[in-house]
Structure 1
Amino acid sequence: MKKLFLFALAMCVSASTFARTDVFPSSTYNQLNYGLYWFGANNQYEKASSATSQGSQFFDPTHPTLIFIHGW
């Protein structure tokens, strides 16, 4: 019963989340784009690169960092 409840809860939560397409410019969806993005408040973002390896507006290398990866 507990597993059934957890499954039903997971399905409800996953059904209520949708990918937002208004965060990135439309050119992002017209060609393959991959990488790590640092996000801030109000959907501000910055793509991680060698320029951000020492820190950026959204990333501080002196603090612990959790990178969450989700897949299909």
Structure 2
Amino acid sequence: MTDDQLQALKIAYTFMPQSIEVNKYEYGEDYKRVLEQIEFVRAVLFELEIDPDELGGEINPGSTPNSCY
């Protein structure tokens, strides 16, 4: 995977819904497929040693809230 492809994957992930946002009411019968796709992308990112939960701050640092820790 090239650096540009990896960057594209990171950006695309930031536009995906979070798993907690996916439900049958919003996504109908497709909600299970959507959850599977989100988990697939997360798994690939983890394989590449990238924490998906940190991508928002990396890709869009100005729009990410400060940590409360």
TM above 0.5, one fold? no
TM-score (norm 2): 0.26
TM-score (norm 1): 0.25
Higher normalized contact order (CA 8 Å, seq sep 6+, divided by chain length): 2
Higher relative helix content: 2
Higher relative strand content: 1
The structure number with the bigger radius of gyration is 1
